[in-house]
Structure 1
Amino acid sequence: MILQGTGILTSFIHIISESLLAPVVIILVIFLVYAILSLGGFLNEWFTKKPLKSDALESLLQDVSKSTNPDELKEVIDSSALYKEQKDVLVKITNNYNLGPDARKAFASKLIEEEESNLLKLTSKTDILVRLGPIFGLLGTLIPLGPGLSALGTGDITTLAQSLTIAFDTTVTGLTIGAIGYVISKYRKQWYESDLTTTETVAEAILEKLNGF
């Protein structure tokens, strides 16, 4: 009786396992397409991204310190080599020059936190590829091995070959997805961390200057 119940359960699990192959393959294809599109965006960012060098940052901080009013501060920010997102944050801080020092500092911290959250959302998508790509690749490897081994027992070499082909293809696809996601996430996190540090540095200089107006 126990063996019969176990047999029913294992048969049920076997059916579920085989039924998962199609969804796993579909998800791998979706991940692969997204990874390729992300790679294209990453390469474009790689060739067009021009982070602010230390000399340029020093010059910007000097220009901020020489500003005599909020309007002049905004002109300095707008004419700088900062990215649009960085300029937007710094201009918002400058526009609220009428706030008290504590409120202005809290508002600046909130703006920078929001910008950091936006950047993390971009890297979190490729982080998903790093984690789930190899996992689904492994699922795509293991699922067809069951029917393949069964076919080997009956001498059906054709079915075994097809199962092994699917297994190897999904493994390679999953690892490729994970590798692409890892490279993109690694470099983008470095870039965005540097950008946030620059934004925070300029924001501090602006806050100090606004306190003196």
Structure 2
Amino acid sequence: MPVLAEIETLLYAVSRVFLAPVMLLIAAALAYALVMLGAFAVEAWQRRRPSHPRALLAYARQAPDGGAGGQALLASDDLELWIMRRLEWLRIVSRTAPMLGLIATMIPMGPALLALGSNDASAVGRNMVAAFSAVILALLAASICFFILTIRRRWLLQDLRDVERQREGKPA
């Protein structure tokens, strides 16, 4: 039985090592979400103006000339890859932040339960505050990124449709 106790102690020690990096990743995710929220607000304001140049259209016109006077457009597959690349980090943060929040919640729960068994209410409180603060901030970052991802995806797909209509010679 002492081997099992040593394994449990080792697992506990290893999990505690990951608390600081997970907390840093949550802070980075929240900072990224807030920066993206600012960029999203600027983009939303710019898109309301009819003179706003669409980033996808500018990228689509980067095609080799091909004798079309600079109006050759990249293929739809290339544009879809550009869209996916543009949305990639929003998607990653919106999906991984809740998992990081769960990890940051579960790691302090062990010491909180041990402190509860020892009637150390202040240690229970400290660990619970760390656990719940981390999950709240992680969920906030994920929610912001998911919101931006959803709307920006629609905008970019509308722009892709406009590029394809332009390619066909139809009015956008």
**Under TM normalisation by the shorter chain, which class is it?**
0.7 to 0.9
One-letter amino acid of the structure 1 residue matched with residue 86 of structure 2: L
One-letter amino acid of the structure 1 residue matched with residue 54 of structure 2: Y
The answer to whether the 8 Å contact 1:137/1:174 transfers is yes
Alignment of 1:134 with 2:132, yes or no, is no
Task: State the Cα distance separating 1:97 from its structure 2 match.
Answer: 3.5
Alignment of 1:161 with 2:125, yes or no, is yes
- Pair member with larger Rg: 1
One of 11, 14, 17 as aligned partner of 1:13 = 11
1:113-128, aligned counterparts within 5 Å? 113-128=77-92
One of 27, 37, 40 as aligned partner of 2:38 = 40
Alignment of 1:185 with 2:156, yes or no, is no
CA RMSD of aligned residues (A): 2.3
Q: Percent identity?
A: 24
One of 18, 24, 27 as aligned partner of 1:26 = 24
Alignment of 1:152 with 2:103, yes or no, is no
One-letter amino acid of the structure 2 residue matched with residue 40 of structure 1: G
Instruction: Give 2:139's aligned residue.
Output: 175
Task: State the Cα distance separating 1:171 from its structure 2 match.
Answer: 1.2
Task: State the Cα distance separating 1:121 from its structure 2 match.
Answer: 1.2
Aligned-partner Cα distance in 2 for 1:25–1:37: 18
The answer to whether the 8 Å contact 1:127/1:181 transfers is yes
Task: State the Cα distance separating 1:184 from its structure 2 match.
Answer: 0.5
Aligned-partner Cα distance in 1 for 2:88–2:156: 13
The answer to whether the 8 Å contact 2:56/2:156 transfers is no
The answer to whether the 8 Å contact 1:90/1:203 transfers is no
1:39-78, aligned counterparts within 5 Å? 39-50=37-48
Instruction: Give 1:86's aligned residue.
Output: 57
TM-score between the two structures when normalised by the length of structure 2: 0.87
